[in-house]
Chain A
Amino acid sequence: MKIFVTGGTGFLGTRLVRQLLQQGHHVACLVRPNTDATAFVASLGAGASGVGRCEIVRGSLTNVQECGEELRGCDAVIHAAAAMTGGAPMLFMNNVIATRAILAMIPGSAVKRFVLVSSLGVYGAGQLKKGATLDETTPLDPAPHRRDPYTYSKVAQERVAWQARETLGVPLVVIRPGVIYGPGRGAMSSRVGLRVGKLLLRMGGRQHVPYTYVDNCAAAIAAAVTAQGVEGQAFNIIDDDLPTAKHVLKHHRRSVERLHVLPVPHWAIGAASGLCEWYHRWSRGQLPAVLTRYKSAAQWGRLRYSNGKAKAVLGWRPAISFDEGLRLSASCA
């Protein structure tokens, strides 16, 4: 197959492209005009055969129409590019409007499969009760504008994609990875706690954190490209042996860096969030509402996470265990 990949030079994308090439696919990789692709190509050469089957397509997400010809000629598209930082308008431009533009190019093209790399954060996890299982039947967040700007943009991106499936008939498959970690990006994340310099506010600790090792995630996306009869479906991608937040932090402190930790117990998260919200309102925004009850409930709830559907339907297996993933991440840190 010839596969058009956005975000191919990123943390996940590099691993993904390598796996696609190893599986014998041809890859057209969208790379920004001013990005030096030398390092990317070299990184592929380190572990992949078939680098010659990787083509660099120069273009940008905000002007993706310029690459229309290359995209429309491919058998599949994997849209893995996403901005993760910046304000809501910038995130919407990169994650929502760009997605809309790419989706608009699919009708009438040779594309038989459109894989959108979304996020596990899109669910309304805050609406679930303690101990409930979050799976693909959980509804999307009903009020995503109350979450962080990145999550809001990812929910909006998905809505745009599902709408395009309905109105344009886009052969959509959605992949919703948990927190992706691996060499080059450690396992610490906001699911464990909030960092203020060298201080970490550990939020809870006993909750399981929905993580996936980068190669495991790439394998799931590659599987979603070729799996038969999965159009119109979404798949959660999280590994089997999910660690607790405490476990991730313990490993991070032991093998990556020393951090001062201030534990915020689960029972105090709601009250602290309410206080933060109140202060934000009272001071008319002197400090941002980093914590709100709504955000905290979605971020640090004690839930179970299911990856059963991806295993059953895509035939995916997370090959790298969490401890092995941590070891690989630390060895490259």
Chain B
Amino acid sequence: MSRKLRVALVGCGQIADAHLQEINKIALAEIVGVCDRQVDLAEQAAARFDVPQAFDDLQRMIAEVQPDVLHIATPPHTHCGLAIDALKQGLHVYVEKPFTLDATEAEEIFEVARNVGRTVCVGHDQLFDPVWEACRARVKAGELGRIVHVDSIQGYDLSGPFGKAFASEPQHWVHRLPGGLFQNVMSHAMYRITDFVPDREPAIWATAFAPVSDAGTPTELRVMLRGQDVTAHLIFSSTIRPVQRVARIYGTKASLEVDLDGRTVRAFRKLTAPGPFAKIQAPARHCGEAARTLARHVLQFLRGDIHYFAGMNRLFTLFYQSILDNSTPPIPPREVCRVTGIMDRVFRAYQEETDKSRNQTGSDTRELIPAGLLT
């Protein structure tokens, strides 16, 4: 296929801006239409990103602009139905995270995709962020030895525009997700873990609670996973400052700390200098590493090459390339279903843990509040 892929998007909310901005940069694709049930949203997206047509009816958009690919950026409870419908009409589909409400829906989508011979991709874009790819390469090269444990932190700012919107709206769709706010955001933290924890069904312990100063809905989540060879901690927090996206990968030879916001990697290796000199060796190594990162980032900045959604851009490109080449998609279907299944089990685990704690402590529910937004 030598022509450009014709890409359309449904769901013109916040994340759609990032999709449209990045697709516009990719030579393999052209945006041919945007759609939202609210025509005002579709029209503003079309006007701002030079999209030729805006629609408020998905079927009409598909019929009129005949896209090859549909990006689904609608609320998660609509993903499964929209994806299956688009696949059956012969479109390849990119689905924003969280992929589906649960693993059953995820399996359904891939079954249809297999049957119709179309490709599906999920928005696990941070796996393709330059810093995560660099980290993966170092792990693959054996720098860390065997991976033993992963810590993954996902911060969330409830005072941001989206946080405010769902907090002030009891009817907001986030509240209707099985995993509420956690489900909408924690995929990023989870796939950073599952990238190194290969087990299909790791043992899971989880707890959710409200911040100390606020006895309202739970916005803090702690998860521990135990696979056959690797363990992991996931922290989702609305209170830790700064709001951060950080992972630490611990191996038998060395460890890496990856900061997705600063796009930095810090290595921790065995100190070889004797006695007090080790106290000089450690910061000297960190200084050297920081200086190299600084120089690289300054050069990238001067080249105009530091972009927040670089991972999304790379994932889109790989996805489109896989369609054009009829090759393996950048994220295998089995992996998408595995991550979704693990997330389902996390939600069940903390709800069971919450119920258990409530039964044990009677009316004291401040620390382990049943997920009001999870019912």
CB–CB B44/A90 < 8 A: no
Tell me the minimal C-beta distance from A164 to chain B in angstroms: 13
* B307 contacts the other chain (CB 8 A): yes
Provide the bound-state CA to CA distance between A153 and B307, in Å. Answer: 26
Query: With A and B bound together, what is the CA distance between A88 and B169 in angstroms?
Result: 19
Chain A hits for B304, CB < 8 A? 279, 282-284, 286
**C-alpha gap A86/B44 in the complex (Å):** 14
Asked if A89 and B45 make an inter-chain contact with CB atoms under 8 angstroms apart, the answer reads yes
Q: Which of B282-325 contact A (CB under 8 A)?
A: 301, 304-307
Docked complex Cα distance between A93 and B168 (Å): 14
Contact B305 A60 (CB under 8 A): no
Contact assessment for A90 and B41 in the assembled complex, using a CB-CB cutoff below 8 Å: no
**Cβ of A85 < 8 Å from any Cβ of B?**
yes
B216 CB, min distance to chain A CBs, angstroms? 9
Which residue of chain B lies nearest to A33 when distances are taken between CB atoms in the complex? B170
Interface 0/1 of A271-306, CB less than 8 Å to B? 000000001001111100000000000000000000
Task: Indicate whether A252 reaches chain B with its CB closer than 8 angstroms.
Answer: no
A60–B162 Cα distance when bound, in Å, is 15
The answer, yes or no, to whether B167 is at the interface (CB within 8 Å) is yes
CB distance B171 to A89 under 8 Å? no
Q: What B residues does A279 contact at CB under 8 A?
A: 304
The interface bits of chain A over 216-253 (1 if a CB of B lies within 8 angstroms of the residue's CB, else 0) are 00000000000000000000000000000000000000
A33 vs B216: C-alpha distance when bound (angstroms): 14
Q: Does A152 contact B (CB under 8 A)?
A: yes
Residue B375 at the A interface, CB < 8 A? no
Bound state CA distance, A181 and B16, in angstroms?
34
Cβ of B215 under 8 Å from chain A: no
Say yes or no: B16 contacts A63, CB within 8 Å. Answer: no
CB-defined contacts of A283 to chain B, threshold 8 Å: 304-305
Q: Is the CB–CB distance between A156 and B168 below 8 Å?
A: no
Please give, as numbers and ranges, the residues of chain B lying within 8 Å of A282 by CB-CB distance: 304
Please, which residue of chain A has its CB at the minimum distance from the CB of B164? Answer: A86
A97 near B305 (CB under 8 angstroms)?
A: no
A189 within 8 A of partner (CB): no
Expressed in whole angstroms, the Cα–Cα distance for A62 and B43 within the complex equals: 19
Chain A residue with Cβ nearest B25: A284
Bits for B15-45, please: 1 = Cβ < 8 Å to A, else 0.
0110001000100000000000010110111
* Residues of chain B lying within 8 A (CB to CB) of residue A35: 168
Q: Is the interface of A mostly helix, strand, loop or mixed?
A: helix
Is B165 at the interface (CB under 8 A from chain A)? yes
Residue pair B161, A145 in contact (C-beta under 8 Å): no
> Taking the nearest CB of chain B, how far is it from the CB of A63, in angstroms?
5
Q: Once the chains are docked, how many angstroms separate the CA of A89 from the CA of B47?
A: 12
Contact of A89 with B12 in the complex, beta carbons under 8 Å: yes
Determine if A160 and B40 form an interchain contact, defined as CB atoms under 8 angstroms apart: yes
Contact A89 B17 (CB under 8 A): yes
A33, A63, A88: which contacts B44 (Cβ < 8 A)?
Answer: A88
The answer to whether A145 and B38 touch across the interface, beta carbons within 8 angstroms, is no
Q: In the complex, which residues 165-207 of chain B have their Cβ closer than 8 Å to any Cβ of chain A?
A: 165, 167-171
Contact A285 to B40, CB < 8 A, known contacts A34-B167, A60-B169: no
Q: Which residue of B41, B43, B162, B301 contacts A286 across the interface (Cβ within 8 Å)? A: B301
Within A48-85, the residues touching B (CB, 8 Å) are 60, 62-63, 85
Q: In this complex, what residue of B is CB-closest to A143? A: B47
Give the interface centre of A33, A89, A282 by most chain B CB atoms within 10 Å: A89
Q: Does A96 contact B (CB under 8 A)?
A: yes
Nearest chain-B residue to A94 (Cβ)? Answer: B165
Q: Is the CB of B44 within 8 A of A152?
A: yes
Inter-chain contact B48/A34, CB cutoff 8 Å: no
| Chain B residue with Cβ nearest A66 | B171
Whether A87 sits at the interface, judged by CB under 8 Å, is yes
Q: Flag if B162 contacts A88 (CB, 8 Å).
A: no
Closest chain A residue to B168, Cβ basis: A32
Chain B stretch 140-177: residues in CB contact (< 8 A) with chain A: 161-162, 165, 167-171
Q: In the complex the two chains form, what is the Cα distance from A126 to B167 in whole Å?
A: 38
| Contact, CB under 8 Å: A145 / B21 | no
Query: Is the CB–CB distance between B169 and A92 below 8 Å?
Result: no
Q: Tell me the chain A residues, 145-165 only, with Cβ under 8 Å from chain B.
A: 145, 152-153, 156, 160
Contacts of B25 in A (CB 8 A): 284
Bound CA–CA A284/B16 (angstroms): 17
Given contacts A63-B169, A89-B12, contact A156 B305 (CB under 8 A): no
Task: Say whether B329 faces chain A, with CB atoms less than 8 Å apart.
Answer: no
11 pairs, A vs B, C-beta closer than 8 Å: A34-B168, A34-B170, A87-B17, A92-B44, A97-B40, A145-B47, A152-B44, A156-B40, A160-B40, A286-B301, A286-B304
Query: What would 6 more interface pairs be, CB under 8 Å, given A97-B41, A285-B21?
Result: A96-B40, A100-B40, A145-B48, A152-B44, A152-B48, A282-B304
Instruction: Report, nearest first, the 3 A-B pairs whose CB atoms are least far apart.
Output: A283-B304, A86-B161, A145-B47
